[in-house]
Amino acid sequence: MKLYHYVHCPFCLRVRMVLGLFGIRYESIVLPYNDEKTPIDIMGVKMLPILTDGHFKTNESLEIIKHLDSNDVLKLRTLEGLEEFKQLENYLNQLGSNVHSLAMPYWIYTKEFDESSRKYFQEKKEIKRGPFSELVKRKEEFILALQKDLKELENQLNPFYGASTLRIYDIMIASHLWGMYVVPEFQFSTKIHDYLQKVGKECHFDYHKDFWS
């Protein structure tokens, strides 16, 4: 089994968390962000995560998770058609937008990037979000919006999201938030930090493992 991924990408983190949760061995391939050829050769489009497992190959995180979780331990198959699932996806889109505006200018200086992949990432992302220098100036605005969304989240934790056991929702939430740990101006509340660490622990998750081991 091979996973092609980016370290900062929340959709890739989902898959790494699930692989860790189930203790599945796999080959971890962190692609440089400016490598267009590898994903296009495998899937016809530049989008990660890509999981290949024999004849199985896909670049949709939730499809990958269904493949890995055939017994539906995480309840993805059960929950995905429900209105509450759509609501959580909408919530994560909103939250993710603030996370991206805050974290992207810092992600490009983590070990995942070199000079050329940093330039490629920044140029591509600035088309949608505007100059990173402007995003950095607006950080207070993004932090306030994110804190508001996180207060809402705190009320749902019991200790997992609306449940006493880990489900797909927790994987989706934790993977969208984890990248905020690299933003120096930001601090999680103790409750959210403890929640993220609890999810991370169950999933034997180590964000920068590919560079440290």
Ligand X SMILES: N[C@@H](CCC(=O)N[C@@H](CS)C(=O)NCC(=O)O)C(=O)O
Residues 6 or more apart in contact with residue 47 via CB below 8 angstroms: 39, 59
Q: Which of residues 176-205 bind ligand X (CB under 6 A)?
A: none
Taking the complex as a whole, the smallest distance from the CB of residue 6 to ligand X amounts, in Å, to: 6
Q: Does 11 bind ligand X (CB under 6 A)?
A: yes
Task: Write the binding mask 22 to 61 for ligand X: x where contact by CB under 6 A, - elsewhere.
Answer: ------------------------xxxx----------xx
Taking the complex as a whole, the smallest distance from the CB of residue 121 to ligand X amounts, in Å, to: 8
Taking the complex as a whole, the smallest distance from the CB of residue 177 to ligand X amounts, in Å, to: 14
Give whichever of 38 and 147 is closer to ligand X, judged by the CB atom.
38
Taking the complex as a whole, the smallest distance from the CB of residue 60 to ligand X amounts, in Å, to: 5
For residue 25, the number of C-alpha atoms closer than 13 Å in the C-beta half-sphere is: 0
Taking the complex as a whole, the smallest distance from the CB of residue 51 to ligand X amounts, in Å, to: 10
Applying CB under 6 A, the site for ligand X has a residue count of 11
Give whichever of 24 and 40 is closer to ligand X, judged by the CB atom.
40
Give whichever of 171 and 192 is closer to ligand X, judged by the CB atom.
171
Q: Which of residues 134-173 bind ligand X (CB under 6 A)?
A: none
3-state secondary structure 89-148: HHHHHHHHHHHHHHHHHHHCCCCCCCHHHHHHHHHHHHHHHCCHHHHHHCHHHHHHHHHH
Q: Does 101 bind ligand X (CB under 6 A)?
A: no
Q: Which of residues 62-91 bind ligand X (CB under 6 A)?
A: 62
Give whichever of 47 and 82 is closer to ligand X, judged by the CB atom.
47
Query: Which long-range contacts (C-beta less than 8 Å, at least 24 apart) are formed by 31-36?
Result: 31/4, 31/5, 31/6, 32/113, 32/114, 32/116, 32/117, 33/6, 33/112, 33/113, 33/117, 33/120, 33/121, 34/116, 34/117, 34/119, 34/120, 34/121, 35/117
Name the β-bridge partners of 29. Answer: 4
Binding-site ranges for ligand X (CB under 6 A): 6, 9, 11, 46-49, 60-62, 124
